[in-house]
């Protein structure tokens, strides 16, 4: 378990792009289960779409990547600092199966497939009420910045 205060210590993201509210379970170096409460107050709903608010698929992928980052930092026993950034390196096989709307609770499940030469590959899926909303394979990497 990890609450929002612990997440804020691990992820550099802040409102409106912090997309993980709580970690429900983490198995070191293997998998993580986290959640994102989807609220009508989120800024993207104003334009996506005014007549039918739907969470953008790219933001669901971002939420999964943030959960993957939490798994990576936990596995490495480290926290990011001002000189480190965790980047997307690739997204494969992304599929969007159902719309995610305000009031939904997005369950983020990420499993580490492999870690090689500083590149992490994950199998990721986000569900609502047991139904798959999106799934993809994500590749992420940490890089030092000046």
Q: What share of the chain in percent tops pLDDT 90?
A: 87
Provide CATH code, domain 4-144: 3.10.129.10
The ranges assigned to domains in the chain are 4-144
- Compute the distance between CA of residue 100 and CA of residue 49 in angstroms, rounded to an integer: 12
What's the token pair of residue 21?
A: 């509210």
Based on the residue annotation, tell me whether 48 is a catalytic residue of this protein: yes
Q: What is the pLDDT of residues 106-130, one digit of tens each?
A: 999 999 999 998 899 999 999 999 9
18 band by pLDDT with thresholds 50, 70 and 90? very high
Given the residues 5, 13, 48, 51, select the one marked as catalytic.
Answer: 48
């Amino acid at each position: 378990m990890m609450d929002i205060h612990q997440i804020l210590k691990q992820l550099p993201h802040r409102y409106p792009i912090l997309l993980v509210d709580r970690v429900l379970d983490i198995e070191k170096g293997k998998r993580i289960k986290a959640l994102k409460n989807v609220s009508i107050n989120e800024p993207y709903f104003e334009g996506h779409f005014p007549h039918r608010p739907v969470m953008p698929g790219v933001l669901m992928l971002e939420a999964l990547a943030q959960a993957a980052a939490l798994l990576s930092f936990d596995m490495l026993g480290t926290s990011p600092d001002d000189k480190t950034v965790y980047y997307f390196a690739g997204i494969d096989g992304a599929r969007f199966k159902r719309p995610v709307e305000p009031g939904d609770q997005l369950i983020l499940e990420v499993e580490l497939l492999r870690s090689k030469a500083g590149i992490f590959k994950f199998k990721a899926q986000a569900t609502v009420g047991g139904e798959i909303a999106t799934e993809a394979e994500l590749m992420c990497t940490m890089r030092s910045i000046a």
